[in-house]
Structure 1
Amino acid sequence: MNSNFVSVKDFKEYAHSVLPRNSLDYYRSGAAEQLTLALNKQAFNKLRIRPRMLVDVSKRDLSTTILGEKVSMPVGVSPSAMQKMAHPDGEAGNARACEAAGTIYILSTLSTTSIEDVAKAAPKCVKWFQLYIYTDRAITRNLVSRAERAGFKALALTVDAPLFGVRRADIRNKFCLPKHLRLANFEETDSKSTKIQSSKEGSGLQEYVNGLFDASITWNDIAWLKSITKLPIVLKGILTKEDAILARQVGVQAILVSNHGARQLDGTPASIEALPEIVKAVGKDLEIYMDGGVDEGTDVFKALALGARMCFMGRPALWGLATDGENGVKAVLNILRNEFDYALALTGCTSVRDIKPEMVVHESFYSRL
């Protein structure tokens, strides 16, 4: 790994140069015209930090507590599918990097390493399992049971994907999972859930989702999920206060404000834009996290000032993985840790508890002066 890699952008540029087009386009693309994909970063860039001076910041604590578990910093890894397309270390390497960093790793249902193998690879890591509800509820029930037995600490139920969004790069590439890889969480079954085949119509992933995911799920199905697990439930994909209030009513423990990496409906807000209204509506009752566009330590600071308790990032971990496997992800996490530490020190904060809402404003705040 190049010692001159000092930012997530460095890892991104290298990953873009080495990944095969099928895999690269799957990881990097957003929905339709990719307006929301660009907005995820642009929205962060429109926020200004208001630092405070002459504060003793010689000692700093980056740690926080998430669903009762202490983590070393408010930055974890979001679920992303099929990580062995980036590097043979895949999900196991990503989880080991999170274990070393003392933070949370969320494993995708559509992983190329099984629940059990990730648990064995990183037994001390705080792991959550990202869940889709399949039309065959026995599949979902089995996944939940396996995650519980493997020591996962929470379920992150994705609620923004009754269908997968229009991802034009995948359609053009006729995306499929490389032949040497399988969806490892289904290897012990004889269902068609193990493989994403090529499709004459376009993306094989879209065909997979349309054939197996349950597009009829409603808020009533949260009660069903609660009935089959004792794990806390995090709803991933909430973007409005109205849905946040419904999430509180059905009794979930947390919300992950997310637009699915801008891969679902183009034209939705950036996650950081949607965050404040959700925090205002339910932040006193539920833990609120966010992902989408997080690739610098200052992004984490801004999100925490606007009310998030934790940030997650997906693509930066993939760029680290593609660059140097587990060690690449460790390096990316370390960069974000150091940048966030500097953000704390240079704003007059010694811990996440010192970050106040008034420390981050929209750029329009200054145009009014």
Structure 2
Amino acid sequence: MGRYLMTETTPRAPLDQIPGDLVSLGDYARYAPAHMTEAAYQYIVGGGADEISVRRNRDMFDRLMINPRVLVDVTGGSTCTEVLGEHFRHPVMLAPVAFHKLVHPQGEIATAMAASALETPMVVSTLASVELEAIAAQTEAPKWFQLYFQQDRDFTLSLVQRAEAAGYTCLMITVDASLHGIRNRAQRAGFALPPGVDAVNLRQRPPLPSAVLEPSQSIVFQGMMTEAPTWDDIRWLKERTSMPIVLKGILSPADALIAQQMGVSGLVLSNHGGRTLDCVPSGLEVIQSVRQAVGEDMTLLLDGAVERGTDVFKAIALGADAVMVGRAQLYALAVAGAPGVAHMLRILREELEVCMALAGTPRIADIGPEALLSAPRSGFFSA
């Protein structure tokens, strides 16, 4: 890791050329600290509390082995797939990540340009540091909008209506982060948004009503969680938008069934990158049980520690329709701007193609549980 391990006081500018030794997503993670402030890096890389779930996300991928088949004609191979009726060049999406301007002056605009160049769907965060309309104008690839419910439901609906008008085609509602987790790493670093970086799409949000808590009341339950949505809110919003709805942050088959019965179009199996509640499972280790609960027709996406083409392959083999990449897009953006994000996505796509070819699975539809050595066995992840 050498000289790129530690963050410098003054971050380096994005590179004009991508170095020859930058050949993997892990390399972008290695370079990234030198191109960010220390506080920003700790905020991005960190997880909740003891970061057990952060480590578990990666560990679950590493425990799975691929079961390759040889002498298969793969010359007709392709990574193309469909998700919710939209054509994807490859089953990889850019996950909703807040405040891209923390690491690059163009922020989400640069990321959107890269997504368009690599035909990669981008999910734009409510907490983007650029207006959602401006981001939408920069990409011809599929674009989805991620929603954090706000306490004022009229304002929440106005965000959805803005997204519809700007050409977003799917609404992804985050349901596992109604308040910040205990993020000790960011606390120790003294992280705060620097001047010029804010949630621009929330600037017109009505002020929260002032409330005085009784001594017996909790700042969490009776305070911060008053903005938290419930199933009734999902039902309310579903009646007011024509966009398909995907819920992000599902880990329980029981919750997946409720969403399916409500008419939700898809789910993201995710623990929020390990950044909210610590000590919860990864999306990867629950995907088989959720798929069994909801059947084959419901769209299932996965995020959390996707760093290799083999990770994409493993997730699809267990039942995912596509995966999302989170932190890696900020690492690549910090290191080399839009070209860095495009390069990062190309690496991931080419790694997936190599994996599919060598595993004897030329098309996405060919990747099933039999492509993994031990995945079909009950209790594989229990140890």
When normalised by structure 1's length, the TM-score is 0.90
Name whichever of 326-335 and 171-180 sits farther off.
171-180
2:262 aligned residue: 250
Q: Distance in 2 between matches of 1:157 and 1:219?
A: 12
Q: What's the CA shift for 1:186?
A: 2.8
Secondary structure of residue in 2 paired with 1:49:
coil
Alignment partner for residue 197 of structure 2, among 181, 185, 204? 181
Q: How does 1:169-318 map to 2 (within 5 A)?
A: 169-187=185-203, 189=204, 191=206, 214-318=226-330
Counterpart code for 1:231 = M
The answer (yes or no) to whether the contact 1:134–1:213 under 8 Å persists in 2 is: no
1:9 aligned residue: 26
Q: Distance in 1 between matches of 2:189 and 2:331?
A: 20
Q: Distance in 1 between matches of 2:62 and 2:145?
A: 31
The answer (yes or no) to whether the contact 1:248–1:285 under 8 Å persists in 2 is: no
Q: Distance in 2 between matches of 1:182 and 1:211?
A: 23
Counterpart code for 2:368 = K
Is it true that 1:163 corresponds to 2:186 in the alignment? no
Secondary structure of residue in 2 paired with 1:65:
strand
Q: What's the CA shift for 1:228?
A: 1.6
Q: What's the CA shift for 1:363?
A: 8.3
Name whichever of 80-89 and 302-311 sits farther off.
80-89
Q: Distance in 1 between matches of 2:47 and 2:120?
A: 27
Counterpart code for 1:251 = G
2:107 aligned residue: 90
After superposition, the C-alpha distances for 1:133-176 in whole angstroms (9 at most, x for unaligned) are: 11111221111010000000101000101221100122223322
Counterpart code for 2:39 = N
Is it true that 1:47 corresponds to 2:75 in the alignment? no
Residues 107 and 247 of structure 1: CA distance in aligned 2, closer, same or farther (over 3 Å): same
Unaligned runs of 5+ in 2: 1-17, 209-218
Residues 250 and 214 of structure 1: CA distance in aligned 2, closer, same or farther (over 3 Å): farther
Secondary structure of residue in 2 paired with 1:48:
coil
After superposition, the C-alpha distances for 1:212-245 in whole angstroms (9 at most, x for unaligned) are: 7744421111111112211000000000111111
Q: Distance in 2 between matches of 1:174 and 1:318?
A: 20
Residues 251 and 363 of structure 1: CA distance in aligned 2, closer, same or farther (over 3 Å): closer
The answer (yes or no) to whether the contact 2:130–2:201 under 8 Å persists in 1 is: yes
Is it true that 1:131 corresponds to 2:143 in the alignment? no
The answer (yes or no) to whether the contact 1:133–1:213 under 8 Å persists in 2 is: no
Secondary structure of residue in 2 paired with 1:274:
helix
The answer (yes or no) to whether the contact 1:46–1:362 under 8 Å persists in 2 is: no
After superposition, the C-alpha distances for 1:189-218 in whole angstroms (9 at most, x for unaligned) are: 27569xxxxxxxxxxxxx9xx977744421
Q: Distance in 1 between matches of 2:138 and 2:376?
A: 47
Residues 291 and 89 of structure 1: CA distance in aligned 2, closer, same or farther (over 3 Å): same
Residues 9 and 126 of structure 1: CA distance in aligned 2, closer, same or farther (over 3 Å): same
How many residues align structurally? Answer: 350
The answer (yes or no) to whether the contact 1:320–1:329 under 8 Å persists in 2 is: yes
Q: What's the CA shift for 1:116?
A: 0.8
Counterpart code for 2:168 = F
Q: CA RMSD in A?
A: 2.1
2:118 aligned residue: 101
Secondary structure of residue in 2 paired with 1:110:
coil
Alignment partner for residue 35 of structure 2, among 13, 18, 35? 18
Q: Distance in 1 between matches of 2:313 and 2:363?
A: 11
The answer (yes or no) to whether the contact 2:123–2:146 under 8 Å persists in 1 is: yes
Is it true that 1:143 corresponds to 2:159 in the alignment? yes
